[in-house]
Amino acid sequence: MSAATGTATTPWWQRSTVRVAGGVAVAAVVLFGIAPAVLSDFRLNLLAKFLCLAMVAVGIGLAWGRGGMLVLGQGVFFGIGGYLMAMHMKLADAGPGGVPDFLRLYGDGVVPGWWEPLRSPVVTVLAILVLPAGIAALLGLAVFRRRVRGAYFAILSQALAAAFAILLVGQQKVTGGTNGLNGFRSFFGYDLADPINKRMLYFIAAGVLIAMVVVVRLLMNSRYGELLVAVRDQENRVRFLGYDPANVKVVAYAIAACFAGIGGALFAPVVGIISPADVGVIPSIGFLVGVAIGGRATLLGPVLGAVAVSWAETGLSEQFPSFWTYFQGALFILVVAFLPQGFASLGTLWRRRRGTPADAPDDPPTTHPSAPGSSPDADDDAQHAADSARTAGRHA
């Protein structure tokens, strides 16, 4: 059966766009309606924390799941966003021209010159959006133009996270050292001690996360999304068609860094602290574990995996304080061994068992692995990449 015929006979509720729109709608109902109604303020604040971590997972899903870049250093960009927001909140708490308390305790009682612009909320927001993405773009250009990839890129990004954590610890006079920055009293003028404002932070985190998922969905279905998958599977063929794979990778890496920075910026007021323990090697690996368990090649898999792993970590640590890490490791091993595409692949396996198509494309001519909820088999990767590259070449 041809693709056009298959699409014509496919019920509208089985189409990819309808399923994704339905998933986003269900997520909105759960996050904005059900969760605030059934969870206590403490648990809702925990969920807000998990949503901040899921923002990092969305970016990793784009860079790793679609672009094949094993990013083990997202804690760097998460930390940049978190520390920028924390600096602004400490300056705001100190008042106009005031000095944050820890600068008087650890330093010489003078606000560093590079802190002063962060007194402005507008400058702070722009820095959170631009600085992580800019650093990632510069690093990506330096690395990808030299065709560094695979394990070498993963090791480099992980070393960057370790160096960043060491730098934060060593600069105690301006970063708070191992204690980090904490004790925030307000968030853009809103009192953080007020439970209503805490709920407001939760709703902000939920809305931002849903917006990120929609952005990634649009990227996946765009010409750029086809190029990104083609670069992942057949980089040399894409280069032969006249595209620079380095530029394609840099865009995905910068977007992932921007998402991580936003997640870190919201994490600081939600949790009330940002420290080197939140941005080093171990947290960076933890981000990746959630994405792998959820399903890195899908749209909602990274989000669900990050939230589920974080929630399980909290629940297990409460019930089994000495053994919860073993349960977490066992979960990761089971998923890698029996569900290499993550829990998100359960839907595909179920549809295959029922004999229904794993995915129903909305645009008939080209089938490529950027459809959410599906991932190519190992034997078909080259063919999928060739199709994507040829499609991108025709658009050019």
Q: What is residue 343's DSSP assignment?
A: T
**Per-residue confidence (pLDDT) for residue 189, from 0 to 100:** 87
**89 or 336, greater pLDDT:** 89
Q: What is the pLDDT of residue 242?
A: 86
31 pLDDT above the threshold of 60: yes
Q: What is the pLDDT of residue 366?
A: 40
In the structure, what pLDDT confidence band is assigned to residue 174 with cuts at 50, 70 and 90? Answer: confident
The average pLDDT across 92-115 equals 84
Task: Record the tokens describing residue 379, joined without a space.
Answer: 């034997």
Q: pLDDT tens-digit profile of 350-388?
A: 667 766 554 444 443 343 433 333 344 333 444 444 454
Which segments within 197-281 are labelled E, that is strand? 273-274
Residue type present at position 263: G
Are 135 and 77 a contacting pair, CB within 8 Å?
Answer: yes
Cα distance between residue 250 and residue 231, in whole Å? 12
- The 3-state DSSP class for residue 91 equals helix
Note the pLDDT tens digit of each residue in 123-172: 999 999 999 999 999 999 999 988 888 888 888 888 999 999 999 988 88
Closest by Cα among 312, 281, 282, 274 to 294: 312
pLDDT tens digit sequence for 193-242: 999 999 999 999 999 999 999 999 999 989 999 999 999 988 888 888 88
| C-alpha distances in Å from residue 243, one per residue of 64, 235, 239 | 20, 10, 5
Please state the φ and ψ torsions of residue 191, each to the nearest 5 degrees: -70, 120
Task: Answer whether residue 51 shows pLDDT above 70.
Answer: yes
Question: What region, left, alpha or beta, does residue 391 occupy, with left being phi > 0 and alpha being psi -120 to 50 degrees?
Answer: alpha
User: Taking the model in full, what pTM does it have?
Assistant: 0.83
Could you give the CA distance from residue 255 to residue 137 in angstroms, rounded to a whole number? 9
With CA atoms as reference, report the closest residue to 160 among 92, 246, 71.
71
Q: What is the pLDDT of residue 234?
A: 87
Q: Which residues contact 389 (CB under 8 A, 6 or more apart)?
A: 226, 227, 230, 234, 237, 238, 241
Predicted confidence at residue 15, as pLDDT, reads: 67
Provide the token pair at 253.
Answer: 């890496």
